[in-house]
Structure 1
Amino acid sequence: MSIISLIIKREFIAKVRNKSFIVMTFLSPLLFVGIAGFVAYLSSMKADTKRIAIHDESGLFVNEFVAQNDKNSEYKYLDLSTVDMQFLKDSITNENYEGLLYIPKTKTNKDLENKIEFISNSSPSIVFIEKTQAVIADKLTKSNLEIAHLDTLAIKNAEADINISLSKASGEESIIGLNEIKIAIGGGFGYLIMMFIIIYGNMVMRSVIEEKTNRIVEIIISSVKPFQLMMGKIIGTALAGLLQFLIWTVIGLSLMFAASAFFGVNIGPTSRVSPEIMHAAQQEFSGTAQLYIKELWNLPIASILISFIIYFIGGYFLYSSFYAAIGAAVDNQTDSQQFLLPIIMPLMLSVYIGFFTVINDPHGTIAVVFSMIPLTSPIVMLMRIPFGVPWWQIAISVSLLFATFFGVVWFAAKIYRVGILMYGKKPTWKELYRWLKY
């Protein structure tokens, strides 16, 4: 055990003293904050106003669009119904206008439904087309009702506005969107695990390749067992990664609070809302906010945090064993690419299952099965836990995860033991299988 602790110490010190590690540890938070500030600045900038020409031969719709000029700053509608159509088309070609909305004159409203055109040099956005269609459809509907001598006001008053309230079987009031909050919490923790595995698993692999190509490993192997060296690298790199994450968190929070204190920047979605509006919103939505807070406190917070730590450790150790074995089997990172895809695929699969299956059916067969499979359980199970998972399912999932980890370490150590001293040959899957038998 003392030998492994020495290797862990050596790997940890080697990582934290590396210049690139030090630079990225302190530079990454600054880059993230700078990018976030730049994105916020770009979002606050007013978009260029796009001029839309309207040639309305029917005379029914042009006022509906012109009336929106004050409401919609992104598009400005111009009534050019008296201008020659060919001249307008040439103006579109010369980019004097963003587009031309042509509404012909027809005998009936029914004939008009499929004859409206929007002419432009580039394809317009889906949102713009949908809004345009909605304005025309609303106006046509009113016109059709008037032609049919129906009371439009009575029809509007007869429209039902349904607002379904949610409650639990116990009688407590519930809220809409709670599932989305739960999947966001679980997905956030799962995403952290995936990023840690990819970043620091690759770091383990690069470390093994570097020592192998420099022939340093030949000296190290003479004093320690390959299994001890592999475990020491995995744990030492994990500790360096945790230290880096901790520093990133501290620096990131410090920068956000510093920006708030010294530049008067309010951090959060309410940064541009005046105190009067905020007070009115608080009065109106205080009941809903209390429900959200209550539901959040009712979440299994302790189970989420404890499970995150357990799956964080188990998932990282499991995948890092694969990365270490690959690093020992190849001579450079280019040769490692053929072996990395089978490692990345389960991680990507677990993310897709989490966001497309767990949110709709967290206790369904697919979600339960993949939360038990060790290669996907660190992410899928974390997404399920906010929805409430029986303790026995968590126990089985964790047991399978760590049992698989020990099994993979045993197999990876065999590949590591042989591959760490193999040079000048690109291994194949068949050769890796043969190494397992040595």
Structure 2
Amino acid sequence: MSKLALIIKREFIAKVRNKSFIVMTFLSPLLFVGMGVLIGYLASMNKDSVTKIAIYDEVGYLKNDFKSDKFTQYTDLSLMPFEVAKDTASKSYAGLLFIPKVDSIQQLKEKVEYISEDSPSIEFISDVETVIDSALTTDNLKKLGFDAGKIESAKVNSSLKLSKFSGGESLKGLNEIKVAIGGIMGYLIMMFIIIYGNFVMRSVIEEKTNRIIEIIISSVKPFQLMMGKIIGNSLAGILQFLIWVVVGLVLMFVAQNFFGLQMGSGAVNPESVQIAQQSADFSKLQLYITEIMNLPLGLMISCFIIYFIGGYFLYSSLYAAIGAAVDSETDSQQFLLPIIMPLMLGVYIGFFTVINDPHGTVATVFSIIPFTSPIVMLMRIPFLEPEHYWQLILSIVLLFATFTLVVWFASKIYRVGILMYGKKPTWAELFKWLKY
């Protein structure tokens, strides 16, 4: 067996035998499921709660305009003395909406007051202001001789129909779905790079601080040692992801068969399906599913694997070089920010530019730049037409070419840094090491 294969085997076995790796491998799916259940439960609690608001309208201009619903309940306390109503509201209500006495309703534009101990939500403030604006607008229309009721009944809510030049119906929100699918893939790659890149760096630092690195490099080349650590940790990470998938499927099976949680087609009986098929909502859902299935899923999965490997190797070589250059994890912080920034930039560029203009200059450039392409290009792939595939090919070629170049530079830092102790290196010193 070659020396590189031995190093890969050693790193892989050391990682999978680690107690924290074993615990988190099987505990993480349970934590994610538990978190999802908790969030769903808390969300349902908020939906069931009703906010009670007291109204004190000294003239009676607006009290009838505030309508109670399942989330907000308005109670009129205008018949009480103001101080009594204020005291009652402070004890039994979330707040008091005070509408003062004015000569004209138009004077209420900036005089309505909401009294409470806690600051109200922006949504609540917006709803109250909307009611006030509507009442003042209606009053203005009446003064101008217009029939506010007829104007309101004449309003029309239009719905833009989307279609394709090739024929067939297009769907609203489809771009957001495409970006979300690519964004999830890109986010997984980013998290894998950060988590397992740190594992590589810690492994190098640990061997360096234990002073066993001198013995290791007496038998293998620094480049072989660095690549062995990168590949060994990546295999451990892939194994962990596969276990998470299996455990997730098992949890779904248990939830469906032992706890009565129905998923998929088993959750709906044939009669309800027949009724749903007659509705427009079900037809829309079918169109969305059809559009998603028409996406280049094979290409997306293949590119996910390619960018997963290329992105991880590119960044892990930098993590390994940093680990070799420092003596402790604390000293590494000054060098980690330039590594993490391109990943974060890729996420923001992807979500804020691809969704609006997937073929624009910004999205195209950052999907080709190797340090951001594993994230941005995955978001663009659902939008790519065959005439744009050259950009995908160029992005992959540049990614692996840059990986080769970065590994060469990182190995030069690595072979010098692993033997340096007791001094925090500066950026200038790292550049000097590249010349050795």
TM class, shorter-length: over 0.9
User: Once the 2 structures are TM-superposed, how far is the Cα of residue 267 of structure 1 from its aligned partner?
Assistant: 4.8
User: Once the 2 structures are TM-superposed, how far is the Cα of residue 117 of structure 1 from its aligned partner?
Assistant: 1.1
In structure 2, the partner of 1:326 is 322
Stretch deviating more after TM superposition (128-137 or 208-217): 128-137
Change (3 A) 1:422 1:278: farther
Stretch deviating more after TM superposition (140-149 or 327-336): 140-149
Match status 1:14 vs 2:11:
no
In structure 2, the partner of 1:124 is 120
Aligned with 2:431 (options 409, 433, 437): 433
Distance 1:345 1:95 in 2: 50
Superposition pairs for residues 12-411 of structure 1, below 5 Å? 12-45=12-45, 48-65=49-66, 67-68=67-68, 71-72=69-70, 74-91=71-88, 94-146=90-142, 148-267=144-263, 279-280=275-276, 283-388=279-384, 390-411=388-409
Q: Secondary structure at the match of 2:216?
A: helix
Q: Secondary structure at the match of 1:45?
A: helix
Amino acid aligned to 1:75: T
Amino acid aligned to 1:309: I
Change (3 A) 1:267 1:140: farther
User: Once the 2 structures are TM-superposed, how far is the Cα of residue 213 of structure 1 from its aligned partner?
Assistant: 0.9
Stretch deviating more after TM superposition (129-138 or 383-392): 129-138
Gaps of 5+ in 2: none
User: Once the 2 structures are TM-superposed, how far is the Cα of residue 262 of structure 1 from its aligned partner?
Assistant: 1.4
User: Once the 2 structures are TM-superposed, how far is the Cα of residue 398 of structure 1 from its aligned partner?
Assistant: 0.8
User: Once the 2 structures are TM-superposed, how far is the Cα of residue 87 of structure 1 from its aligned partner?
Assistant: 3.4
Change (3 A) 1:335 1:282: farther
Stretch deviating more after TM superposition (113-122 or 403-412): 113-122
User: Once the 2 structures are TM-superposed, how far is the Cα of residue 418 of structure 1 from its aligned partner?
Assistant: 0.6
Distance 1:287 1:219 in 2: 68
User: Once the 2 structures are TM-superposed, how far is the Cα of residue 360 of structure 1 from its aligned partner?
Assistant: 0.7
In structure 2, the partner of 1:412 is 410
User: Once the 2 structures are TM-superposed, how far is the Cα of residue 154 of structure 1 from its aligned partner?
Assistant: 2.8
User: Once the 2 structures are TM-superposed, how far is the Cα of residue 426 of structure 1 from its aligned partner?
Assistant: 1.1
Change (3 A) 1:425 1:282: farther
Q: Percent identity?
A: 64
Say whether the 8 Å CA contact 1:300–1:388 is kept in structure 2: no
Amino acid aligned to 1:38: L
Distance 2:280 2:358 in 1: 33
Amino acid aligned to 1:230: M
Distance 2:282 2:246 in 1: 32
Distance 1:282 1:329 in 2: 66
Deviation track 1:301-344 (CA, whole Å, cap 9, x = no partner) reads: 12111111111100000000000000111111000001000000
Change (3 A) 1:382 1:99: same
User: Once the 2 structures are TM-superposed, how far is the Cα of residue 89 of structure 1 from its aligned partner?
Assistant: 3.7
Stretch deviating more after TM superposition (344-353 or 248-257): 248-257
User: Once the 2 structures are TM-superposed, how far is the Cα of residue 145 of structure 1 from its aligned partner?
Assistant: 4.1
User: Once the 2 structures are TM-superposed, how far is the Cα of residue 174 of structure 1 from its aligned partner?
Assistant: 0.7
Stretch deviating more after TM superposition (293-302 or 149-158): 149-158
Distance 1:82 1:400 in 2: 75
Distance 2:31 2:164 in 1: 45
Q: Secondary structure at the match of 2:134?
A: helix
Distance 1:412 1:318 in 2: 10
Distance 1:170 1:30 in 2: 46
User: Once the 2 structures are TM-superposed, how far is the Cα of residue 286 of structure 1 from its aligned partner?
Assistant: 3.0
User: Once the 2 structures are TM-superposed, how far is the Cα of residue 278 of structure 1 from its aligned partner?
Assistant: 9.4
User: Once the 2 structures are TM-superposed, how far is the Cα of residue 205 of structure 1 from its aligned partner?
Assistant: 0.4
Distance 1:248 1:395 in 2: 31
Say whether the 8 Å CA contact 1:372–1:397 is kept in structure 2: yes
Say whether the 8 Å CA contact 2:78–2:85 is kept in structure 1: no
Distance 2:126 2:221 in 1: 67
Distance 2:73 2:155 in 1: 32
Deviation track 1:172-204 (CA, whole Å, cap 9, x = no partner) reads: 211111100110011010000000000000000
Distance 1:202 1:9 in 2: 19
Change (3 A) 1:109 1:295: same
Say whether the 8 Å CA contact 1:328–1:415 is kept in structure 2: yes
Deviation track 1:157-184 (CA, whole Å, cap 9, x = no partner) reads: 3222211101112222111111001100
Distance 2:268 2:167 in 1: 38
Distance 2:27 2:157 in 1: 53
- Could you state the TM-score of these two structures normalised by the residue count of structure 2? 0.93
User: Once the 2 structures are TM-superposed, how far is the Cα of residue 77 of structure 1 from its aligned partner?
Assistant: 1.7
Change (3 A) 1:349 1:283: same
Say whether the 8 Å CA contact 2:95–2:115 is kept in structure 1: yes
